[in-house]
Amino acid sequence: MTDADITVAAASRTITYRDALREALRDALLRDERVFLMGEDVGCYGGCYAVSKGLYDEFGPDRIRDTPLSESTFVGAGIGAALNGMRPIVEIMTVNFSLLALDQIVNNAATLRHMSGGQVSVPVVFRIPTGAGRQLAAQHSHSLEGWYAHVPGLRVVAPATLEDARGMLWTALQDPDPVVMFEHVMLYNMEGTLDAAAGPVDIDRAVVRRPGTDVTLITYGGSLFKTLAAAQALAADNVSAEVVDLRSLRPLDAETVLASVARTRRAVIVDEGWRTGSFAAEVSARIMEGAFWSLDAPVARVCTAEVPIPYPRHLEQAALPQPAAIVAAVKALMGA
Amino acid sequence: MTDQSLAPHAKPRLTRDHLLGLLRQMVRIRRFEERCGELYQQEKIRGFLHLYIGEEAVAAGVMACLHPEDAVVATYREHGHAILRGVPMTAVMAEMYGKAEGCSRGRGGSMHLFDVGTRFFGGNAIVAGGLPLAVGMALADRMRGRPRVTACFFGDGAVAEGEFHESLNLAALWKLPVLFVCENNLYAMGTRLDRAQSQTDLHLKAAVYQVASEAVDGMDVVAVEAAARRMTDAIRDGAGPQFLECRTYRFRAHSMFDPQLYRDKAEVEDWKRHDPVARLSAWMRETGMLHDADLPAIERETEAEIEAAVAFAEAGQWEPVEDLAKDVYTREVHP
Ligand SMILES: Cc1ncc(C[n+]2csc(CCOP(=O)(O)OP(=O)(O)O)c2C)c(N)n1
């Protein structure tokens, strides 16, 4: 199968985020025989978020590999396979369960290159669903991306759009280093149109998703659409908000953030992590270090309330960053 | 070592040359480590230093069965494994010093020896952290149809970790070509095996996962080699993972910071009577296979090799601080 075969369909079509991810997986499996997908229920069951549905029938149990409930070992096995010439994609059911494999990710994937004096690379991709919104209560709803972004040796990306869902995986697989890719669970059903020719995307740079002049709203992953909604609401009140989608948390494209803040002179960071020790804190500090003198107001943050995510819908929604809170944070900055 | 203990499996390899080779390898580890201990006192080697003295028969016996394309994964007590795997002693010693000429460019130190050239993949200081890696390396070989073995060394302490159980299960489930080598030296730091394990017969744990397993006298290099050879042969024949428990003992402290309050001197002395080096040489002498000039010759060669390694390390360079951020990522990345 050639690239041409993969991009046959019509010019653009309606597709979900889930389907875009599946296309990306399929594409990767077809392009490179070293690629395989491994994780809990990725095969027979079809993936617990149905992302890999159908792939087991198409590619077989060797390349769509169901594992036992052994996060640490199948994650470590992915690292070992990468060391030994494969290009594994390892799916961990949710970021909450990834904690059982944190040792392998932090102590092996992230460190082996450095500890070996540059002798080895670990070309593995970890796909990890993250985030809240489905009333799954505390042990299935957290957003711990910032913890991973803390670790040198890892690359951390978060596709928010259909283009990125379709394109980031291949770029991540081309990267010789371990990439942790966070998929927000509320995005899987998101539908939109995607160019049939959509392919690999850059994973190094942030992008401006909506231009504006009065304030920069900085976010990533599942919070992007809430932030865009807030920007739209602000426009009705004559506040022009620019929205920056970070896409990559490590390396962080501070340049794009700082350039935007230098123009708008105000910044609000929207992050589904908890405020204390959050990734938003890191972005805020970068802005202080790099754009302090161009600020007209203190940097503000809209984060998740400092509670384990509760089960009831009203409490869950109250805990999470919402458009109204983003609007309020911006208005406070504007002195409105 | 008695004729009986050797009798059942070892016959084919009991040539003078082969046994001299095993003896030489054990002496190389022993003297290298003794020298490291001295260099530690002189503060040439810093950080943690875990000596393997007393356990040499395990590395020597197992390494004798591996092919160049096989892979080795080890722990922080891995100097002997690295040297016997063929990592040049010069590069190992330079690594102990932290010099740029070290096998890991000085970035790893004594606990993180790496050498892709000899397929030596560390050097892992997380207890049981290497087991999943070995499973994955074997998985890659299996998927690519490469007839290779991955040998994974770890201590009895690792048996208490979840990763041990997960890894044995997965390796057995997928019939992966891994040789699990448990170096049961009876202690995990200061915790004696029977204070950590409800079942102290460790090879039985592997059997539960349908991994073929056995325990051998880990002070008897011939017994270790014979068992390891059967197991690596079985792995190469497609029999799936094998588990070798080597009952051994470390004569030195856990690390250089350990006052050894947890065990009697008498116990250590008692085990020293099973010293694998003395044992093999005594037995070879008894059977006429060791000549008077052999050991002195081995000692001389080893000493020369070690002194050359020390000189190499001493002459090595410190990596420039400007290179601090090198090799965090394969491509240059600015976080
Ligand atoms: C996950 C983890 N927990 C604790 C330690 C601290 N530690 C280092 S060595 C050791 C004992 C391990 O004993 P064993 O596995 O029997 O190996 P040995 O040192 O006897 O060769 C411990 C507890 C560690 N390195 N990793």
Distance A2 CA to ligand 1 centre (A): 50
Residue closest via CA to ligand 1's atom 21 equals B155
Asked if residues A41 and A47 have their Cβ atoms less than 8 Å apart, the reply is yes
Average confidence score pLDDT of chain B: 95
- C-beta B126 within 6 A of ligand 1: yes
Distance from chain centroid for Cα A279: 13
How much is the average pLDDT of A242-264? 98
Say which of A77, A86, A117 has its CB closest to residue B327: A117
A71 tagged catalytic: yes
pLDDT digits (tens, 9 = 90+) for B14-25: 899 999 999 999
Percent of chain A surpassing pLDDT 70: 97
pLDDT band at A335, cuts 50/70/90?
confident
Question: What is the C-alpha to C-alpha distance for residues A214 and A225, in angstroms, rounded to an integer?
Answer: 19
Task: Provide DSSP, B258-317.
Answer: ---TTS-HHHHHHHHTT-HHHHHHHHHHHTT-S-TTHHHHHHHHHHHHHHHHHHHHHHPP
SS3 B73: strand
Percent of chain B surpassing pLDDT 70: 96
Q: Cα angle at A21 between A15 and A24, to 5 degrees?
A: 105
Parallel, antiparallel or unpaired: strands A207-210 and A241-245: antiparallel
A323 touches chain B (CB under 8 A): no
For tokens 């040499």, the residue is B56
pLDDT at B7: 41
Q: In the predicted model, is pLDDT for residue A193 greater than 60?
A: yes
How much is the average pLDDT of B96-114? 97
Question: What is the C-alpha to C-alpha distance for residues B299 and B289, in angstroms, rounded to an integer?
Answer: 17
User: A76–B163: do the CB atoms touch at under 8 Å?
Assistant: yes
Residue B36: CA atoms inside 13 Å, Cβ hemisphere, count?
Answer: 31
pLDDT digits (tens, 9 = 90+) for A171-185: 999 999 999 999 999
pLDDT at B5: 44
Task: Tell me which of A203 and A18 has the higher pLDDT.
Answer: A18
User: B102–A117: do the CB atoms touch at under 8 Å?
Assistant: yes
Task: Tell me which of B334 and B256 has the higher pLDDT.
Answer: B256
How much is the average pLDDT of A284-312? 97
Interface size, chain A vs chain B, as Cβ–Cβ contacts under 8 Å: 152
Distance B36 CA to ligand 1 centre (A): 20
Query: What is the ipTM for the molecules in this complex?
Result: 0.90
pLDDT digits (tens, 9 = 90+) for B14-62: 899 999 999 999 999 999 999 999 999 999 999 999 999 999 999 999 9
pLDDT band at A336, cuts 50/70/90?
low
Q: In the predicted model, is pLDDT for residue B141 greater than 90?
A: yes
pLDDT digits (tens, 9 = 90+) for B212-223: 999 999 999 999
CA dihedral B238, B243, B246, B251 (to 10 degrees): 110
Q: In the predicted model, is pLDDT for residue A4 greater than 50?
A: no
pLDDT at B8: 43
CA dihedral for A149, A227, A97, A34, sign (positive or negative): negative
For tokens 């096998």, the residue is B103
Q: In the predicted model, is pLDDT for residue A16 greater than 80?
A: yes
Asked if residues A89 and A59 have their Cβ atoms less than 8 Å apart, the reply is no
Is the model's pTM score more than 0.95? Answer: no
Question: What is the C-alpha to C-alpha distance for residues A46 and A64, in angstroms, rounded to an integer?
Answer: 10
- C-beta B114 within 6 A of ligand 1: no
pLDDT at B175: 98
Distance B154 CA to ligand 1 centre (A): 9
How much is the average pLDDT of A96-107? 97
How much is the average pLDDT of A64-79? 98
Contacting residues of B for A119, CB less than 8 Å apart:
104, 114-116
Task: Provide DSSP, A250-308.
Answer: ETT-HHHHHHHHHHH--EEEEEEEESTT-HHHHHHHHHHHHHGGG-SS--EEEEE-SSP
CA distance A110 to chain B (A): 8
